[in-house]
Amino acid sequence: MVPFSSLNPYQKLLSQHLEELGVQVEGVKRISYSLAGKYLKNKPDIIHLHWLHPFFLEKSMVKSTLRLITFLSKLIIFRIAGIKIIWTTHNLNAHDNQNLLLDRLCTFVVTRLAHAVIAHCQAAECEIATKLGLKIKTRYL
């Protein structure tokens, strides 16, 4: 799970439940180059993304843009390597609306790279589908 915080009750419960089902869960705060290299050697089945803004938002637009390119490049490499990408959409935009253009670009690209996008409720699912132009294929409740 990326980014992971043991203080987050949702992630903690999700991790516990998955481990009870026999799934090995590794929570990490970010995808560093060393972690990306490790993932390509010892491929996980899934990378489960939560919030996207920690991967690219900086005070400088230039730094944010470079971090976004780096983040999306890693996701493309993971996808090519056969690692499934799952994104739980906790919110479509960062709360502070900093660098809104990059935020929207990241959200758009991640939804196209993701093998699955998870919404917490039907209203959120409809909003995601409408705002991002996604066709809902399968619903898991």
Segment 118-135, tens digit of pLDDT = 887 788 788 888 887 777
69 located within any domain: yes
12 located within any domain: no
137 located within any domain: no
How far apart (Å, rounded) are the C-alpha atoms in residues 126 and 129?
A: 5
Give the chain's domain count: 1
17 located within any domain: no
44 located within any domain: yes
Task: Judge whether 52 and 107 are in contact, CB under 8 Å.
Answer: yes
pLDDT digits (tens, 9 = 90+) for 53-98: 888 888 899 999 999 999 999 999 999 999 999 988 877 665 566 7
8 located within any domain: no
What is the dihedral angle through the alpha carbons of 114, 27, 17, 12, rounded to the nearest 10 degrees? -110
Count CB neighbours of 41 within 10 A. 7
- At a CB cut-off of 8 Å and minimum separation 6, what does 124 contact? 89
Reading the block at residue 28, the tokens are 């990490």
Q: Which domain holds residue 37?
A: 24-132
